[in-house]
């Protein structure tokens, strides 16, 4: 494969958890991988070719970081094309509908999950190739159902699905597809923190998840890779695809 043929993927939140597993999967398949996280220091063992810090909730940071990435791609690959954008950066938090709930936390959670997906997508969409470009947004099963104490996270992840459908229609004339993935419980720091709050253990999944176990980050990464690469996905767009071991049936 020449440098010019090698495809480029940009993954947000690529330093840890699901994002880090997606980075490894695409590297294994020979893609050029660019990944951002809130802090560059959190990329401890990442295989990404180009790692950078960017708070996806801040428009100016997104614009400046993409400008630097494009200059880098131009110098190293003689191309400013990005084939695939994966909006994975996420932030969860407890935020019930209570007068004492923090408005700042509401804004942060909406900012990272929803505004960040919108900002990255609007600046990367012009760089995607017609006919083959793709965007994959990581939503959640909480984008499909509510829980009482996660108002901001549920609103943001439902919003990501609405945005996915709107973007899919907007980009359809260019034959670019946009889909959302809705994971259930995935073994990451985010899930560990939530389980701690709820006072539940992994053994509880034997009853609450029909398939009876955690999803491993590499399983989400495999699914994302298949969606991004198989010709069988060419006509799939605007969908919210669930991978949750049957948890919300």
Binding interface with ligand NAP (CB under 6 A): 12-13, 15-19, 36-39, 42, 54-57, 88-92, 112, 138, 140, 183, 185-186, 188-191
Q: What is the C-alpha to C-alpha distance for residues 225 and 117, in angstroms, rounded to an integer?
A: 19
Among candidate residues 32, 153, 223, 225, the one labeled active-site is: 153
Task: Note if 50 is an active site residue.
Answer: no
Any idea what DSSP says for residue 175?
Answer: T
- Cβ of residue 28: shortest distance to ligand NAP, in angstroms? 18
Do 23 and 48 meet the contact criterion of CB atoms below 8 Å apart? Answer: yes
The Cα-based distances of 95 to 24, 148, 152, 153, 185 in angstroms read: 33, 9, 6, 8, 19
Question: DSSP characters for 75-96?
Answer: HHHS-----EEEE-------B-
Do 15 and 42 meet the contact criterion of CB atoms below 8 Å apart? Answer: yes
- Cβ of residue 30: shortest distance to ligand NAP, in angstroms? 23
- Cβ of residue 65: shortest distance to ligand NAP, in angstroms? 10
Active site residues: 153
């Amino acid at each position: 494969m020449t440098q010019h043929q090698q495809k480029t993927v940009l993954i947000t939140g690529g330093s840890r958890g699901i994002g880090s597993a997606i980075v490894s999967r695409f590297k294994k398949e020979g893609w050029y991988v660019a990944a951002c996280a809130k802090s560059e220091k959190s990329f401890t063992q990442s295989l990404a070719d180009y790692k950078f810090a960017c708070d996806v909730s801040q428009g100016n940071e997104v614009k400046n970081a993409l400008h630097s990435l494009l200059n880098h791609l131009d110098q190293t690959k003689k191309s400013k094309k990005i084939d695939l954008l994966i909006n994975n950066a996420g932030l969860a938090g407890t935020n019930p509908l209570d007068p004492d709930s923090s408005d700042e936390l509401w804004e942060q959670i909406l900012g990272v999950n929803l505004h960040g997906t919108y900002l990255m997508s609007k600046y990367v969409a012009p760089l995607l190739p017609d006919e083959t470009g793709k965007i994959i947004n990581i939503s959640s099963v909480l984008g499909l159902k509510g829980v009482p104490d996660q108002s901001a996270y549920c609103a943001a992840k439902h919003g990501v699905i609405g945005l996915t459908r709107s973007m899919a229609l907007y980009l359809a004339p260019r034959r670019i597809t946009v889909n959302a993935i809705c994971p259930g419980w995935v073994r990451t720091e985010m899930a560990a923190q939530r389980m701690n709050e709820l006072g539940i253990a992994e053994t509880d999944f034997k009853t609450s998840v029909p398939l009876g176990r955690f999803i491993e980050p590499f399983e989400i990464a495999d699914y994302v890779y298949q969606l991004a690469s198989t010709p069988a996905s060419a006509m799939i767009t605007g969908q919210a695809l669930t991978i949750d071991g049957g948890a919300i049936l």
